[in-house]
Amino acid sequence: MEISSILYSMLCMFAFVVFFLFLIHSLISKLFFTPSSPKLPLPPGSLGWPYVGETFQLYSQNPNVFFASKQKRFGSIFKTHILGCPCVMISSPEAAKFVLVTRSHLFKPTFPASKERMLGKQAIFFHQGDYHAKLRKLVLRAFMPEAIRSIVPAIESIAKDSLQSWEGRLINTFQEMKTFTFNVALLSIFGKDEILYREDLKRCYYILEKGYNSMPINLPGTLFHKSMKARKELAQILAKIISTRRQRKQVEDHKDLLGSFMGDKEGLTDQQIADNVIGVIFAARDTTASVLTWIVKYLGENPSVLQAVTEEQEAIMRTKEEEEGDDEGNQKALSWADTKKMPMTSRVIQETLRVASILSFTFREAVEDVEYEGYLIPKGWKVLPLFRNIHHSPEIFPEPEKFDPSRFEVAPKPNTYMPFGSGTHSCPGNELAKLEILVLLHHLTTKYRWSMVGAQNGIQYGPFALPQNGLPIRLCPKT
């Protein structure tokens, strides 16, 4: 009897909490999310549960299922509610162009509150206009081909060390690729100085990243709270790095991203520099690691494609062997020119980016009420162009689930292939990402063979789609 009373009380309390949250959600919706122009209807769709919306449905299952079911039910434009934000999702090339290119001034780049607070409000992702243009110019200056071609040997060294550390053991591909891409990111940001700060930066960032997609509840014990503490410590480490470089008066001597940010003529504050450094690490790490993980899986499942890539890379290796080596007779390091002789490997990267669609969507926010196709997109609502839906449209890419790099022998139609986004806010680091992937694949395919371990059909989500368990593989040198 006593247990029944306790259970009854708990159920009553739970019902009260749900009812209370529903009332708050309704009040907030009326106060902040009610359209100021009632003449136009909102797009069709569902806002889900109070506060949490449909966040769990999106991040706990195949995003293809979530998006496709919504699109089938409501059409190419629909509303939902994720990560505490009311959203309008769009899934046609024309709509993506409208939001990202032709009417981009009506939609500012944004992220959920949790990411914005963790990355820093001065990061390039959250701005448009003159400040954004200035930051983009600085990032491109450090990541354009003329700048990154000089670090190809350093990237190759990181790739070779990574592969050697995986030899003969069972590894989690995604976790190891995250370490590789993190080290390349630090190299591109701090240059040769990165080795001095690698471990401290890694320790803090690994804590920070765990809260990127958490609810922004800053209470002790929550992921968000732990992440914000790590964010504070990370900013302190970056402040020391910036101060040390200034004391050495070597700012102009550094051609890395930090040197670009610290140029005397730019006038960025230390906080602006720190926010953007953290933002670049965020943008450069997990996405590239995810692409590499999927490439390993797709190559392992498609022997003919793997053979074609291997033959292409072995031809480059033979050419390097025929060239004069160093004083110890070792093969010359890869060069920027070598990476431009990899068309087959480049098509594999393109097709992986399409099939896996690492970035399922991007976040924008309407800066005013916007009309699109007879619907109202209210000011303050998030707008999400769904890259995944476009990349998996059978009208655009026949047999979209099939891994077929040959489809990129012909350039795709405009606005149908956007793995790095589109418009003025497209990823400025895409050349660096492609470079580090090509360098790693050169050594992986010419010097190693691997086998996937365990079930190979499962996919996990949160937030990126990944092979189950991060794709366990066993890597062995070729004999």
460 touches 163 (CB < 8 A): no
* Residue 235, C-beta contacts closer than 8 angstroms, at least 6 positions apart: 120, 271, 274, 278
User: Distance (Å, rounded) from C-alpha 219 to C-alpha 229?
Assistant: 11
User: Distance (Å, rounded) from C-alpha 84 to C-alpha 70?
Assistant: 19
349 touches 295 (CB < 8 A): yes
Q: Among candidates 190, 223, 189, 188, which has minimal Cα distance to 209? A: 223
Q: Among candidates 191, 184, 281, which has minimal Cα distance to 241? A: 191
* Residue 130, C-beta contacts closer than 8 angstroms, at least 6 positions apart: none
Neighbours of 400 (CB within 10 A): 16
In the numeric block, the tokens 């995810």 are attached to 290
Q: Is 85 annotated as contributing to ligand binding?
A: no
Q: Among candidates 254, 264, 257, 253, which has minimal Cα distance to 283? A: 257
Residues across the chain? 479
User: Distance (Å, rounded) from C-alpha 347 to C-alpha 105?
Assistant: 33
Backbone angles phi and psi of 379, in degrees to 5: -55, 135
State which amino acid sits at residue 374: G
* Residue 318, C-beta contacts closer than 8 angstroms, at least 6 positions apart: none
| Helices (H) then strands (E): counts for the chain | 18, 12
* CA-to-CA dists, residue 341 to 6, 275, 352, angstroms: 71, 36, 19
407 touches 127 (CB < 8 A): no
State which amino acid sits at residue 10: M
Taken in order 118, 121, 127, 131, the sign of the CA dihedral is negative
277 touches 245 (CB < 8 A): no
Longest distance between any two alpha carbons in the chain, whole Å: 88
144 three-state secondary structure: coil
User: Distance (Å, rounded) from C-alpha 227 to C-alpha 206?
Assistant: 9
Query: Binding site, residues?
Result: 427
Query: Binding site for heme, residues?
Result: 427
